[in-house]
Amino acid sequence: MILFFALCFVGVAIAGATAFVIFWPLTLVHVRDRHAGTAADFGSGAFLDPAALRWLLCGGYRTVSDTSLSGLATPARIALLTIIFSLSMAGLLWLAAEILA
């Protein structure tokens, strides 16, 4: 039963990854097109750039007063947090299943 719940968390992580793949590129394009001079301009190849992901997780988009940017970055942030949490829980449940078995 524990492994079933671990697999369910993997499914939630896949759903989060789907949302992340939709909203994060839209956020990066919005930053590139409308806020070219800000510190959030990560250049090309920023999709998995650690600095860009840190900016997203820390909510750096809130310093820019743009509701469109916030509307795109907030779902991307929630999706990234969902991925991190779900994979962590799946790993912990797998570890618990290995220890208890």
Q: Could you list the mean pLDDT of each consecutive 10-residue stretch along the chain, which spans 101 residues?
A: 96 98 94 77 82 92 92 97 98 96 83
pLDDT of residue 30: 92
Contact 82, 16 (CB under 8 A): yes
pLDDT of residue 39: 58
Buried b (16+ CB within 10 A) or exposed e, 58-97: eebbeebebeebeebbbbbbebbebbeebbebbeebbeee
pLDDT of residue 57: 96
Prediction pTM value: 0.91
